[in-house]
Each structure stands twice: as structure tokens, then as C-alpha cells.
Amino acid sequence: MKIIGLTGSIGMGKSATAALIADAGIPVFDSDACVHSLYAAGGKAVAPIEGAFPGVVVDGAVDRQRLSAALHEDPSGFARLEAIVHPLVLEEREAFLHKARQRGADLVVFDIPLLYETGSDSHVDHVLVAYAPDEIRRSRVMQRPGMTQDKLDAIIARQLDDSNKLARADYRIETSGGLDDAKRQLDAILKSVRERSKD
């Protein structure tokens, strides 16, 4: 079984690409969705995060806005947060892999926004980067509720430069041409990965 790491900076079309991959019948581990479940009431991350950032838990769940405000006040908190969350995500990811192997999957995808930034590229066989021109990316992101130029710039600053990601990627998918165009690119990429797996 081969593992593809899917990544892409905010607004680059990574989530749409992940949906196309899932539609093709390939198991996708969604890191963001995993974190959401860890933050939800009863989630494994709730108690340790409240311990590290008192006051960010509301009604038994991590309030992401309060957590974001705490991190904005003290950016050094990102390291504390990652030390809590990353091992829990890894645990969930291993369970996902175990299930995929049991089902006989030949390919799986790890959808990880900060793939390179967290060193997760060392845990995959191939890296696929979704990308789009910067003006399209910014236009997409600025339509999100509550998004501001300052917030977007802060998010981009935490992510690896896009040219660096593209240079290190095994495969690239350009998402500005619509879903049909993206699907054509994806089909060719999946065919290539499967052919390389036979070698």
C-alpha cells in the first residue's frame, strides 16, 4: 500500500482535491477533521489544551476562537499546542492505516495542510501539492466568513513558501481550471502512482 501526502497552502484547492480523491474510492485521512474531533466535547485533546491554555474550553469543547486569540497573544503557544495535538493525530492516523490495510487498499491519502512544516512528508511515499495563482487563492480565502487580510497574511506566514512546496513535490495539481480539469490531472497522477508501485 502506497501513501500519498496531499498538501497545499490555504485557498489552493486542497480540500476540493481531497474530495475528488475520495470520490475515486481512495481512503483519505483528513487531518483537519481529525483535529476538529479531538477539540469537540469528549475529544482527547480537550483536557490537555485547557491545561495549557486556561479558559479556551467552553461547554466541554475547545473554543477555536478563544484558542486562536490565546495564540495571537502568545505565538510561542503554537509549540505547546502542537506537542499536545500531533501525537493524538498520529494515533488516529495509525488506526486509519490499519483499517485501510484490512480492506486491501492499494493507495491511501494523508490530507495534511502543514505536511512539510510538521515533517510529515517523511511518512509518505509521494507528495501531491495542490496550487493556484496567488490572486485566485486570495480571492477564494477572502470570501470565507470572518477572514481579514491580516488573518490571511498571518496564516500564510506560518506556511512554507509555495515555490518551495512545488519544488519538493512529486506531483502537482493546478486547481484554477475547475473540477473537470482537476479531475483529469488527478486521474493521470493516480495512474502514474499505481504504475510506479508495480516497478
- The predicted-structure confidence for 53-80, as pLDDT tens digits, reads as follows 999 999 999 999 999 999 988 889 999 9
Residue 108 has pLDDT above 90, yes or no: yes
pLDDT given for residue 156 in this prediction: 83
Q: Mean pLDDT throughout 177-197?
A: 93
Residue 155 binned pLDDT confidence (cut-offs 50, 70, 90): confident
Q: Please, what is the average pLDDT of the chain?
A: 93
SS (H, E, C) 27-89: CEEEHHHHHHHHHCCCCCCHHHHHHHCCCCEECCEECHHHHHHHHHHCCCHHHHHHHHHHHHH
The domains of the chain, with CATH numbers, are 1-27+107-191 (3.40.50.300), 33-104 (no CATH)
Closest CA to 155 of 15, 9, 13: 9
Pairing, β 126-131 against β 57-58? unpaired
Residue 16 has pLDDT above 80, yes or no: yes
Residue 151 binned pLDDT confidence (cut-offs 50, 70, 90): confident
Q: Mean pLDDT throughout 169-192?
A: 95
